[in-house]
Amino acid sequence: MYKINVAVLFGGCSEEHTVSIKSAMELAANIDTEKYQPFYIGITKTGVWKLCEKPCLDWERYAEYTVVFSPGRNTHGLLIQKKNGYEPQSVDVVFPMIHGKFGEDGSIQGLLELSGIPYVGCDIQSSVICMDKSLAYTVVKNAGIEVPDFQIIQNSDNLDTEKFIFPLFVKPARSGSSFGVNKIEKAEDLCTAIKEAKKYDRKVLVEQAVSGSEVGCAVLGTGTDLIVGEVDQISLKHGFFKIHQEAQPEKGSENATIQVPADLPAEVRERIQETAKKIYQTLGCSGLARIDLFLREDGQIVFNEVNTMPGFTSYSRYPRMMTAAGFTLSELIDRLITLALRR
């Protein structure tokens, strides 16, 4: 029986390296190996690509061969470095399970477009826009959806604190999983928070905190043919949601609980889903994305951010929302690969 060759990329050079490995581990445990032949390619923190048997936290110990994607469309796949040269391996589709920088910012998408190989997820343009929160805010606001007040800080720019009311969030414009994000209550803490954010990106946002709860919606599909998962809702004990930075996220968050489906009236959940679909289409997303929103106390929905390759870990929100809507992880993986092959 012919199997579809799927190259699964994981790891990467960003601060979300470990999250990516855990996502790939879940994919490996749930992909239909009767239908698909996976090739697992781990990317080290220094950017070396290696072929390995399966993703695991210490995968580098078991990775023997260095690999690259050929940008030449005549290869349509991998070049595996062996003793006597490079051995080609054809690939039908790529599942780039890489979160954050170089995974969700259009970089890997550009390489795959050059190679002519279909891939799961958003294209170059939508990846670039969604990765940069200031660009995403601008596009979404122009579509008539409310976004938080924000100011971009670059280099030695001076912050106009008078336009904001504390508390504020200071965050890297192009980072994920809440790395480099701080919630500040007073002006004296701004400089320290900006320095922390700049460890992850030279472009920093200072953003007005939104009073209300954080909600999210998983979206699957392309164009107008979209499926949405159940809405989830985050309840915070203190601080802000940053489960991927916690010591044992598999055991649950230290400061938050996630409820899916959200304990909200059906009409409110439907408004959230419709807003998520509008944002997804406005930003040109395809394949999948998790749309994060705020539900203000007055019932107004405010855009937060988009994750174009959301986590697939056991504690990640996207698969949990889709599971609540009736999709197993195996079914979700199959649909995503099928969508990619139709590009």
Give the pair of three-digit tokens for residue 69.
């994607």
- The residue from 250, 270, 274, 297 that is catalytic is 250
17 is catalytic: no
Nearest 5°: the CA angle 197, 202, 206 is 50
| CA distances to 87, 165, 197, 245, 312 from 178, in Å | 40, 22, 10, 8, 17
CA nearest neighbour of 153 among 128, 134, 177: 134
Answer whether the bond into residue 265 is a cis peptide, omega within 30°.
no
Share of the chain above pLDDT 70, in %: 92
Residue 310 and residue 289 in contact, taking contact as beta carbons nearer than 8 Å? yes
- Are 177 and 248 in a shared domain? no
- Are 336 and 321 in a shared domain? yes
297 is catalytic: no
- Are 77 and 11 in a shared domain? yes
How large is the average pLDDT for residues 137-157?
89
From 208, 225, 256, give the residue that closes a domain: 208
99 is catalytic: yes
315 is catalytic: yes
Strand pairing partners for 16?
none
- Are 244 and 215 in a shared domain? yes
> pLDDT tens digits for 93-111?
999 999 999 999 999 999 9
195 is catalytic: no
Considering its fold, how many domains does the chain have in total? 3
Write out the residue range of the structural domain in which residue 102 sits: 4-119
- The residue from 15, 17, 22, 50 that is catalytic is 22
- The residue from 244, 269, 271, 277 that is catalytic is 244
Model-level pTM? Answer: 0.93
- The residue from 8, 19, 93, 204 that is catalytic is 19
> pLDDT tens digits for 159-202?
677 778 889 999 999 987 678 899 988 888 888 999 999 998 89
Locate tokens 């480099």: which residue?
180
Look at residue 241 and tell me whether its pLDDT is greater than 60.
Answer: no
- Are 47 and 88 in a shared domain? yes
Look at residue 33 and tell me whether its pLDDT is greater than 80.
Answer: yes
Locate tokens 């009311």: which residue?
165
- Are 185 and 217 in a shared domain? no
- Are 102 and 19 in a shared domain? yes
Give the per-residue pLDDT at 122: 98
> pLDDT tens digits for 73-97?
998 999 999 988 999 999 999 999 9
